Amino acid sequence: MAENKQVYDILGLDCPDCARKVADGVKKLPGVQLSELNFATGKLTVMGESTQETITERVRALGYDVAEPENETVGPPKREKNFFRFLWGRTETQLALLGTLLVFPGLVFNEILQMELFWVNLLAVAAVLSAGLPVARSAWRNLRFNHSIDINFLMSIAAVGAIVIGAYVEAGMVMVLFALGEALEGFTSERARASIESLMNVVPQTATRLILVGDEVQEVDVPVEDLDIGHLILVRPGETIPMDGIVRDGFSSVNQAAITGESRLVEKTIGETVFASTFNGEGALEIEVTHRSEENTISRVIKLVQEAQGKQAPAQRFIDRFARWYTPLVVVLAALVAVLPPLIWGEPFLNPTQGEFGWLYRGLTLLVISCPCALVISTPVSIISAISNAARNGVLFKAGLHLETLSKTKVFAFDKTGTLTEGRPMLVAARSTAHPDFQPISGSCTDCADLVALAHAVERRAKHPLAEAIADAASSLQVTARYPAADAVSVLPGLGVSGQVNGQLVQIGSHRLMDDCAEHSQEDCFQLNMEEQTGNTQVHVAVDGELKGSLLATDAVRPSSKQALADLRKLGIKTLVMLTGDLPAAAEQIAAEVGVTDFRSSLLPQDKVNAVMELKNQYGHVVMIGDGINDAPALALADVGIAVGGAGSSAQAIETADITLMQADLSKLPFAYNLSRKTMRIILFNIIFAIGVKAAFMVLATLGYSSMWMAVVADMGISILVTFNGMRLLRYPK
């Protein structure tokens, strides 16, 4: 049976229970193999042979609406930002507003002035019909298609029961307040979805393409969808970069906050990578497109965030399972409260005695306050808000599960090269045979400058990392032109490289090369052996077979690493472990500099996996942070794998990891950890608060001290409070 994937934007979802009803209803259609509805994004994914018309008909039969199937040209549905316009834009909320007008006289005369008027009761019944018709219809549809009872069913029973016992105004108020409360939940959910879709709004829809016509380059405005890999585009000063690409001409400063979350401007020149949705500064850039519009970085970010919000955290799955059996249990409990006291103790069933509520009324009130709205919506809104906030700050969570797991972790394991360090060597010192002690590379050290100039003359056409480090040092010392480029350059595999510079044979390489090709004293040999024990890279320079000196290269620590680890310690992380393939001496030096509490050295990729396993056995949850191919197995094994993004990171590490830091440093790691802890604290508070207030009102309802309209105000009030509390995570921490 051939599978056919279809994706729809579902409109009118007010809470996670709505999403579950739609998904279950569509799943029961013939030919449907899979039906999943992501409440966070409102996207319904259907696998199977059922037609678009059949699926759309079922969704609308359940009381919701469908936008067009998702494709490359259809953007997200428009999200209304004004609550009153949101209310006026939906039929069911228009009826609720009408019901509000109809029940208002009852609130004044019956509840405040304590006057029982016939025409007021008629208006209250009309309010029940107006606001309650969509509620009752939704309850019937769910019962018909999914064979289950939901919140709408509970409220319909309560309203009908209230009319039966003559509490007309209360019945009207219950329905109106419930409908308006559901609408407010829907509005806040729309705002949460809009926080993700706002990422799309920063991407331009057109670009200026440079096309060669004859001998003339013409500028043509084209839709970004028409651009292909290899096309050349022009981005003027102050414009937003429309596509991922590589700078082929120009120099500018670019604001990359939309992708990496970093606030500083990043200088971009020829050969540098730029991202779609980032903001160009003072200079014009000619950019070669490297990804199509649907495959660029911002598109992948949006897709990952949307997928992450559809993957439930354990807390969310627990609440959803709890709500499934909680709702029918509440119906049974309310029935027992209404029936048992009259049957066993002869208490009044319908009419109040001596000013007290009858037991049917108490049971109906219990039914109202027991609705699981607040519980069901408390967790997903918090998860949505946190993941959206993280994405805007350059941290991508692939699932809510990882947000929850990260908050529980007390052990962080770090790869060294490319994670704690820059991942590329940098010349930091030099020594000559005339001055045997290493001196920092600077303009005041003439011998150092000459060694760097000789090395640069031989290595200037090479592209390996050490050659680039020598070129950077030569440039900073302004000695790039001291010697001409070497002739007859030859590579000595495993040893180094040699060439002719001004008629002299210059050899650059390892201690072993010096032993084979260059004269040096026993004292020099001893000194070289001692230096190798430090773990730093030694580059030795010989001229015409005589050792002239050595250059010292080290892998520089990222500027953000030390501060990031210090911030993690402030947040309560006591175990910070560095895992590296370096020799113990080099590992110890970096470990002391960045501030880890422990390190493991001389590790192969499999050894890193074993180290992570040992840490898990010793401490429980472990976070692994890395950037390379060799880190991928350890990232996969850890409870939470975090990939450090950037130009040097491997696709395997990013694909394997559960979280990606878009910026090529660790500055956002404490933010991500702090956000995860705050998220779980808010979720826990919301759950305890919702259950606590509901339990208190259930006791009050059973004892006869709570009216139905007070119960529905409490229920909707709790839902609104936990929703707004969860949405605080859109802006936390500042």
Could you list the active site residues? 415
What gap in Å lies between CA 261 and CA 256, rounded to an integer? 7
What gap in Å lies between CA 248 and CA 387, rounded to an integer? 35
Segment holding 619, helix H or strand E: helix 605-619
* CA distances for 294 relative to 221, 300, 302, 448, angstroms: 19, 8, 11, 51
**Peptide bond connecting 76 to the previous residue in cis, omega within 30 degrees of 0:** no
What gap in Å lies between CA 28 and CA 16, rounded to an integer? 19
| Residue 3: CB atoms within 10 Å | 9
**Sign of torsion over alpha carbons 120, 125, 128, 130:** negative
Kindly state the tokens that stand for 478: 């302004």
Beta carbons of 410 and 573 less than 8 angstroms apart: yes
What gap in Å lies between CA 101 and CA 249, rounded to an integer? 66
Buried b (16+ CB within 10 A) or exposed e, 421-448: bbbbbbbbbbbbbeeeebeebeeebebb
478: left (phi over 0), alpha (psi -120 to 50) or beta: left
Look at the block and give the residue holding tokens 């609440």.
319
What gap in Å lies between CA 24 and CA 454, rounded to an integer? 73
Rg of the chain (C-alpha set): 34
Strand pairing report for 232-235 and 206-213: antiparallel
Beta carbons of 632 and 624 less than 8 angstroms apart: no
Question: What's the distance, CA 34 to chain centroid?
Answer: 25
What gap in Å lies between CA 479 and CA 467, rounded to an integer? 15
Strand pairing report for 411-415 and 265-268: unpaired
What gap in Å lies between CA 162 and CA 684, rounded to an integer? 35
Strand pairing report for 439-440 and 421-432: antiparallel
